[in-house]
Amino acid sequence: MAEQKVAIVTGSSSGIGAAIATRLANEGYRVVVNSARSVAEGRALAASLPAATYVQADVSDEAQARALIATAAEQHGRIDVLVNNAGTTKVVPHDDLEAVTPQVWWDILSLNVLGTWQVSVAAVPHLSKSATPGNIVNISSVAGTRPVGSSIPYAVSKAAVNHLTRLLAAAVGPGIRVNSVAPALTETAWTADDPFFRAIADKCRESTPLRRVGTAEDVADTVSALLRLDHMTGAVLPVDGGAALI
């Protein structure tokens, strides 16, 4: 019997990350759940999944990003999949330029872009040993491809993640595939509580071709599919219910 593959999902104590971790565990992966702060939630999720473990780490910090990968490799003996889901934003109207301070830029870019980079670099030596080959899946956003999003820094960070996906795919093939999933607004407990996101959800229900808001499970479906598409790398797949068509 083949040894179970191992998948790390950053930022997976809740929301999209938790849905991805759950899906992969149900498909037979040994999953490493991660969060920077929600330790109790992360441990509870890992305890609910077969053969899963939890590692606390803030991936925007290089030492912690490297420690996450080293700990996962030590616990499980291999790494086959890395899902870079950890991210953050700050809701700032795009025309409120003064509100976007250098600190806002740094808070968003350091996690969304630098964090993705740091974990990926640390994971590459392990992923390159996977026989399938190894996989990196970056969770991006439609804000990285269109002039939308919760703030300009957030949109810029996701555009950077999309281009990083293409550059990494070219750099680490053929032993590792790198792809990105770009959701539109996705229903989570966090987005449901914010008036900005509720307004977008109402628009999605009224005007997108599929007339609904995406779910965390929709994103998990796409990640799962990407892991089976062996001839795809450097792709940015929208999960937007046709929002780009309006």
- Judge contact between 209 and 155, C-beta under 8 A: no
Q: What is the pLDDT of residue 190?
A: 67
Catalytic position from the list 29, 54, 154, 197? 154
What does the pLDDT look like over 148-200, one tens digit per residue?
988 999 999 999 999 999 999 999 999 999 999 999 877 777 666 777 777 77
The percentage of residues in the chain with a pLDDT greater than 90, rounded to a whole number, is 81
Q: What is the pLDDT of residue 177?
A: 98
What does the pLDDT look like over 15-74, one tens digit per residue?
999 999 999 999 999 999 999 999 999 999 999 999 999 999 999 999 999 999 999 999
Give the model's confidence band at 11: pLDDT under 50 very low, under 70 low, under 90 confident, else very high: very high
Cα→Cα distances 52→21, 70, 134, 135, Å: 9, 16, 19, 19
Cα→Cα distances 64→56, 57, 80, 91, 191, Å: 9, 5, 20, 27, 27
Whether 2 shows a pLDDT value over 60: the answer reads no
Amino acid occupying residue 3: E
Query: Closest Cα partner for 79 from 149, 9, 155?
Result: 9
pTM of full prediction above 0.75: yes
Strand partners, 176: 134
What domains appear along the chain, each with residue ranges and CATH number?
A: 6-186+216-232 (3.40.50.720)
**CA 78, chain centre distance (Å):** 20
Known catalytic residue at 154: yes
